[in-house]
Chains A and B, each alone.
Chain A
Amino acid sequence: MLYALCFLLFVIGLYCAVVKKNMVKIVVGLAVMEYAVNLFLIMLGYRTNGTAPIVDRTYYDFSTHQVTDVFLNSAVDPLPQALVLTSIVIGLGCLALMISICIRTYEKYGTFDITQIRKLKG
């Protein structure tokens, strides 16, 4: 059910990106899609009543140099978190580039409405 709600968020973003005709709205739609995918990835790794994948002194056995079983059986999946960290930064980069293209286009055409930005024909 939570996955479905998360997917609904993705679909709202997709809807916004394909249907709206304002450039900033399209960017907003892509940003929403990005959030939804990130959230989905993190949710995949969640364990009920889990702990963060950061080794604490209480989870570490200094005599054997091993992490304790408690940690192993309660930590959430660290791999999706690493992936999301990457994808958040990619999203920020895309946002910056897209906004600069928008601003530049606004300067040229005087509008954000993509139906009026039609110098190229289909």
Chain B
Amino acid sequence: MSDIPLVLPAFVCIPLVAAFLLPIFGSFGRKGRAAATALANLATISLLVMSIASINQFSVYNVGKWSIPLGINMVLDGLTGLFLITVNLVSSAAMLFSVRYMEQYTAKPKYLSLFMLMVAGMNGVVLTGDLFNLFVFLEIASIASYALVGFGCEDEQLEASFKYMVLGEVGSMFVLLAIGLVYGVTGALNMAYISKAVQNNSANVVLNFALALFIAGFGLKAALVPFHSWLPDAHSSAPAPISAMLSGVLIKVLGVYALVRTIFSIFGISSTVGNLLVVLGVVNMIAGAFLAIGQGDLKRLLAYSSISQVGYVFLGIGLGGTLLAAKTDSVWASLAILGGLFHLLNHAVSKSLLFLTSGSVEMSTGTRQLNQLGGLAEKLPLTRAACAIASASIVGIPPFGGFWSKLILVIAAIGAGVYWAAALIVAVSVCTLIMYLKVHRYVFLGELPESQRQIKENRGSMAVAMICLACLCVLIGLVFLVPSLRAEVLEPAAKVLSDGVRYADKIIEISKDMLVCAD
């Protein structure tokens, strides 16, 4: 308890200071650029170590020694811990991958700086306990990602970046307006205090309107289906490590985390909202899967598959929320939520690995059109193995992580008596299987095109990043299977959601205790 609070600001400070230093380093020639790369990698790895250390901890940190409601507080609880480890895991792998991959672009230090800013923004979003602060860090992460999507300055990238930026900014404006409305009713910005005030006047239509605006705004960031049009463009155009970050963690932190935190911890789950989440999840799953199968572009296919997989997460969390609101089966409710969150972790690892392999394929062959690829199995054995593992995990083939999370979801759905959801999960998994078989069939099997006889496997940092993530895909099932790990990582996170608005009592009580200690 004593040393963990000091770590909390470091999650934001380390990437921020690194991001401010990197352009200065970068302006000092070749050696400076090498130092910048080393510094960035050091920063992400130290963040990863810190996030592992902070798992299953609970602490509250008052920034500037001002007790809430005056100041801003940072909260580390189970949900935050799970998201921190997801963010920093994927970001350190993507950073390692970009060491070599980004050599094809100019201005690498600026890329590294923007990358660190994106990481800082995401860490800030998951750590903060203040609604407006969440908005500020959301903007940091989004703006950095707009710039990174267009980093290559090619036609498609600029177009995707503009589209993404317009929709993202509309989403941000919705969120800001909703924060204003909430402030107008409750007079508070701290999540715990807002939650208290919301309980006292829950019938207020302004708050319901604000909740709708929050769902629309964060839904735009999470690419929920009516708002999904930016995602395939942005995720397929960006440089590969950035696609991995966007699909792997950015939509989850800015969309899923922010939405779930708002709904569960601030407004309190109701059956209407729970059902809405289930419907959104189901629509996402089906639409994403069907759109993905028809794609002829490797990264576009992966991007649509992300929409489908985020649907699983929403289905699990929404199902749990509906059950919680009905106050019937809290066992199945927490199991459904646990399944959703575990699927989020699985999807983050395996989808970022898939995007990294697509980057490796694109760098070797210069194309990502499925019909121009083929027969790469012998040329790129490592990439192929990594891709196979990641696809198996996403599809849900037994030893890999994805199988366990889908199994939990199916069990929870059957236990709760929602048989159609269980059937749907299996059916969409079959669609997913078809689309990844298609990827393998077109990319790695078949004839090698004449123009690509000379290509070689990418070695160095790209290979290391892919191997690390592939090992994780295999091992991540253990997080569920070993009870002690499950109790450390997943259960605290699921408990935060099933506790719902009791979050507020906990935070307020702790900050009162801290006030007493300080006096």
Interface residues of A (CB under 8 A from B): 10, 14, 17-18, 23, 26, 30, 33-34, 37, 40-41, 44, 79-80, 83, 86-87, 90, 93-94, 97-98, 101-102, 104-105, 108-109, 114, 117-120, 122
Tell me the smallest distance from the CB of A107 to a CB of chain B, in Å.
9
Q: Is A98 touching B165 in the complex (CB atoms < 8 A)?
A: yes
**Is B173's CB under 8 angstroms from A86's CB?**
no
B180 closest partner in A (C-beta): A41
Stretch of B100-108, B142-150, B465-473 with 4 or more beta carbons under 8 angstroms from chain A: B142-150
Contact of A37 among B147, B153, B176 (CB under 8 A): B176
| Nearest chain B CB to A20 CB, angstrom units | 11
Known: A14-B170, A97-B147, A120-B233. 4 other contacts (CB 8 A): A37-B180, A40-B180, A83-B179, A101-B158
Question: Using Cβ atoms and an 8 Å threshold, which residues of chain B touch A105?
Answer: 158-159, 162
Can you give 15 A-B contacts (C-beta < 8 A)? A14-B170, A30-B170, A40-B180, A97-B146, A97-B147, A97-B165, A98-B165, A98-B166, A98-B169, A101-B165, A105-B159, A117-B159, A120-B233, A120-B236, A120-B237
Chain A residues, CB < 8 A from B199: none
Does B334 belong to the interface (CB within 8 Å)?
A: no
Closest-by-CB residue of A relative to B177 is: A37
B236 to chain A, nearest CB (A): 8
Distance in Å from the Cβ of A34 to the closest Cβ of chain B?
Answer: 7
Contacts of A98 in B (CB 8 A): 162, 165-166, 169
| A40 close to B162 (CB less than 8 A) | no
Within 8 A of A (CB), among B163-178: 165-166, 169-170, 173, 176-177
Beyond A30-B173, A119-B159, whether A90 also contacts B166 by CB under 8 A is no
In the complex, the number of residue pairs spanning A and B with C-beta atoms less than 8 Å apart equals 84
Q: Which residues of B contact A (CB under 8 A)?
A: 132, 136, 139, 143, 146-147, 150, 153-156, 158-162, 165-166, 169-170, 173, 176-177, 179-180, 183-184, 189, 229, 232-233, 236-237
Say whether A17 contacts B170, CB under 8 Å: yes
Point out the residues of chain B lying under 8 angstroms from A90, CB to CB.
136, 139
Alpha-carbon distance between A97 and B139 when the two chains are bound, in angstroms? 13
Contacts of B236 in A (CB 8 A): 120
Distance A116 CA – B402 CA, assembled complex (angstroms): 41
Given B136, B153, B173, B179, which contacts A104 in the complex, CB threshold below 8 Å?
Answer: B153
The reply to whether B170 and A108 form a contact with Cβ atoms under 8 Å apart is no
Q: How many Å lie between the Cα of A119 and that of B236 in the bound state?
A: 13
**How near does chain A come to B401, taking the closest CB pair, in angstroms?**
32
A104 touches B180 (CB 8 A): no
Please tell me if the beta carbons of B143 and A93 are within 8 angstroms of each other in the complex.
yes
**CA gap between A104 and B232 in the complex, in Å:** 21
